[in-house]
Amino acid sequence: MRASIFGVAIAALLLTCVVAAETADPGFTAVPIAQSVTVLQGYECNIAASAGDDGIVLVDTCGAKVADKLLVAAQRLSARPLRFVINTHAHGDHSGGDAVLQKHAPVIAHHTVRKRMAAGNEVTGDKPSSPEALPVITFDGEVILHLNEEEIRLLTLPPGHTDGDVVVFFKNANVVCVGDVFMPPAASFGDRWYGGGALRLIDSLEFLLPQIPEGAKIVPGHGKISTRADIVRGLEVLKRMKAVVESAVRAGKTLPQLTAERPFDQWRGSVPAWSSSDKSLDGWVKNFYREISPQPD
């Protein structure tokens, strides 16, 4: 059984982080967003931080190779200690720095994040995480932290990008950290090797959108700070992709026939740049087709 094109893409993204760290080291750049919330940007990662009199809360930890640099950047935001670290999901470019950061503060994540990190994934080549990297606080549903004059709400989403997606709402700052359920410029993907899926991601976004306030600043795991309207557009793109494949299946088209028509080329500018090649777009078609008209691998 072969890893999907998206598994390969994640590995490529992680490699990009490592190469950037080793060849040109600009470090993390602190970008103030609103009130106590700053985004630390670097190594292809967006790490949201709430810093104030009560200490520092981080959302995600980027990759293991840059964890020490992330810690230094976070400590520049406040003389107060690191209090909590939150994982939005289990992928290594969001949880890879957990072992380093958890020496200073507990990591919080969904139950399945700890399980997937502990088990690793043979298909994607992800090795089991060390015991010290595993989140020590896990939950399902929601958790609210009250720190830095902020209400920080951790909300479990239905399986979408993965089966452990958590979105973090900074209520007073009106900032929402969405991990990888949304990727600029519009559409993310569902990783079936981590319990997600294309159709599941549509359902997950439909669950999430009504809970995002108007005017909220959206912090995706990668890429530019976005808006609620950007997520709306991403959901619409995914729905239109789904409709195209459903129509093809109803017409009796095989996957090779549909792929040859290049139906997703129209959305090349709506998916992340690293996932916009002809081969990658073929992967998007295959994933939708697989879920709508299941075929053996």
pLDDT in tens, 272-296: 999 999 999 999 999 999 999 976 4
d(CA 35, CA 230) in angstroms, rounded, equals 23
What kind and span of H or E run contains 200? Answer: helix 198-208
Give tens-digit pLDDT for 88-134.
999 999 999 999 999 999 999 999 999 999 999 999 999 999 999 99
Q: Any idea how long the chain is?
A: 297
d(CA 221, CA 54) in angstroms, rounded, equals 25
Blockwise average pLDDT, block size 10, the chain, 297 residues? 48 50 74 97 97 98 97 96 98 98 98 98 96 98 97 98 98 98 97 98 98 97 98 98 98 97 97 96 97 73
pLDDT at residue 11, rounded to an integer = 52
d(CA 29, CA 212) in angstroms, rounded, equals 26
pLDDT at residue 25, rounded to an integer = 73
d(CA 208, CA 158) in angstroms, rounded, equals 9
Domain ranges of the chain: 5-228
pLDDT at residue 217, rounded to an integer = 98
SS3 196: coil
Asked if residues 166 and 59 have their Cβ atoms less than 8 Å apart, the reply is: no
Asked if residues 100 and 68 have their Cβ atoms less than 8 Å apart, the reply is: yes
pLDDT at residue 297, rounded to an integer = 44
Q: What is the DSSP string of 107-148?
A: EEEEHHHHHHHHH-BTTTTBPPPPGGGS-SEEESSEEEEEET
pLDDT at residue 26, rounded to an integer = 77
Asked if residues 109 and 75 have their Cβ atoms less than 8 Å apart, the reply is: no
Which CATH architecture describes the domain 5-228?
4-Layer Sandwich (3.60)
pTM: 0.90
